[in-house]
Amino acid sequence: MKAVIPYKKASAKSRLSSVLSQEEREEFVEIMLNQVIDSVREAGIENIDILSPSMYGLENMTKARVLLDKSDLNEALNMYLGQAKEPTLIVMADLPLLSPKHIKAIISTKEDVCIVPGKGGGTNILFVKTPSSYRVKYYGSSFLTHCSIAVDAGQNIEIYDSFFGAMDIDEPDDLVELLIHGEGYAKKYISQKFRLDISRGRVRLSQI
Amino acid sequence: MKAVIPYKKASAKSRLSSVLSQEEREEFVEIMLNQVIDSVREAGIENIDILSPSMYGLENMTKARVLLDKSDLNEALNMYLGQAKEPTLIVMADLPLLSPKHIKAIISTKEDVCIVPGKGGGTNILFVKTPSSYRVKYYGSSFLTHCSIAVDAGQNIEIYDSFFGAMDIDEPDDLVELLIHGEGYAKKYISQKFRLDISRGRVRLSQI
């Protein structure tokens, strides 16, 4: 079994630019990446690849192997899957609420494919037992697409229902979830900069 | 064991007013309520109360008992809990992605209290085994508050991690989740009015 984490540090997370500078966003995605790697490793997967279009920020990475591929996300991942000879976990790097317990449950699926939906129709984690007969198509409503691809290939699907797994961090409101439900360095980083504002009904982010 | 569902039909879901008229929103909350009642009943709970400040829209309710209480949500629920003599499930009426399977898992908790977080710091479902020694405080960051209340009362908590349970329907973006992941009448109602627009990266709601 192995895991692959697509990652790009340069100018990451532009939808957080109203609350974090580029330097902060790049620091933050690196922290989230490390947290995801740690969760994957703690779940017992030792063979971990980071798939990135650039070495930027990965020069000193020792926890995982770095694979450089300048093609787009789908092309790079499909090339990777085509060569994979063992069950493969594709996990996004921006899931700081993910724990080893989630990953253990996902890779224990009895089905051929396990999909963890992200909010807004996304796919946050895909576990594929026979990766060479699967292909990915991220962006847009990738959750529905990834379900269809499995069905078309005659593969059974488990949909893994997890709020914490669904919570990829894209927008300021997502940082609220991290402050409320998070643990570890990603939460620590954000709680040094923001606090929860519960003064007006809904919980909002407030700069410290 | 019993369940209580707080509910108010009149002028419901104002944050959906940019995409649904008041009449539509009132129809929609009634459909969601019925779906939640059906899920609770299918999970094996027969004793179901609807707690409402008004009889409006509940005149012909036969699936559950209607309790009228004009005080605010917290006051009404705490009065209810104070008189409850059996384990009590408090479930919000706007959870159309909730299934009987979720409810069965929640009421099977080994802890004293099971909390299902909603997005944005909310509490979507609370299961309390000894309701007379618990009190609720909805609004604001109620998830954290409800955890503290349990801890202060010496009660153990299970946090039930579910994307579908977390997805209360408040805003137009939430209808996207219903269209992607939903089933039943609530999804049917919304899919008669909207379709998914995946033309520009993120999935958006588009009026039919």
Residue A121 sits at the chain B interface (C-beta within 8 Å): yes
Residue A144 sits at the chain B interface (C-beta within 8 Å): yes
Please report the pLDDT score of residue A198 as a whole number: 84
Instruction: Give A204's pLDDT tier (boundaries 50, 70, 90).
Output: confident
| Mean per-residue pLDDT of chain A | 96
Chain B residues within an 8 Å CB radius of A176: 120-121
Cα A108 to Cα A15: distance, rounded to the nearest angstrom = 34
Instruction: Give B159's pLDDT tier (boundaries 50, 70, 90).
Output: very high
Residue B184 lies in a domain: no
- Radius of gyration for chain A, computed over Cα atoms and rounded to the nearest angstrom: 17
Number of domains in chain B: 1
Chain B residues within an 8 Å CB radius of A117: 163, 180-181
Residue B129 lies in a domain: yes
Residue B123 lies in a domain: yes
Task: Look up residue A168 and give its two tokens.
Answer: 């990829």
Distances, alpha carbon A45 to alpha carbons A52, A60, A184, in Å: 20, 21, 20
Residue A193 lies in a domain: no
Cα-Cα-Cα-Cα dihedral sign, residues A10, A11, A15, A19: positive
pLDDT at B198 exceeding the cut of 90: no
- Residue whose C-alpha is closest to residue A19's, from A132, A134, A172, A158: A172
Q: In this structure, what CATH number is given to the domain that contains residue B134?
A: 3.90.550.10
The mean pLDDT value for B175-179 works out to 97
Residue B119 lies in a domain: yes
Q: 3-state SS of chain B: helix, strand, coil percent to 5?
A: 40, 20, 40
Range list of H helices, A43-99 = 73-83
Cα-Cα-Cα-Cα dihedral sign, residues A205, A199, B133, B3: negative
Structural domain containing residue B91 = 2-168
Q: Using CB atoms, which residue from B165, B180, B201 is nearest to A143?
A: B180
3-state class of B131 per DSSP?
helix
Residue A205 lies in a domain: no
User: How are strands ordered across the β-sheet holding A123-128?
Assistant: A65-68, A48-52, A2-6, A88-91, A123-128, A113-117, A157-159
Please report the pLDDT score of residue B201 as a whole number: 65
Residue B148 sits at the chain A interface (C-beta within 8 Å): no
Task: Look up residue A57 and give its two tokens.
Answer: 């920020």
Torsion of CA B143, B144, B147, B151, to 10 degrees: -170
Residue B105 carries which side chain, given as an amino acid letter? A
Residue A179 lies in a domain: no
Residue A23 lies in a domain: yes
Range list of H helices, A110-203 = 142-152, 163-166, 172-181, 184-191
* Burial tier of B110 (Cβ tally within 10 Å: 0-12, 13-18, 19+): exposed
Cα A49 to Cα B16: distance, rounded to the nearest angstrom = 43
Contact state of B141 with A196 under an 8 Å Cβ cutoff: yes
3-state class of B208 per DSSP?
coil
C-alpha of B59 from chain center: 21
pLDDT at A118 exceeding the cut of 80: yes
Instruction: Give B98's pLDDT tier (boundaries 50, 70, 90).
Output: very high
Please report the pLDDT score of residue A2 as a whole number: 98
The model's pTM is 0.96
Q: What is the ipTM of this complex?
A: 0.95
- Give yes or no for a contact between A115 and A143, defined as CB atoms under 8 angstroms apart: yes
Residue B203 sits at the chain A interface (C-beta within 8 Å): yes
Instruction: Give A200's pLDDT tier (boundaries 50, 70, 90).
Output: low
Q: What is the pLDDT of residues B104-143, one digit of tens each?
A: 999 999 999 999 999 999 999 999 999 999 999 998 899 9
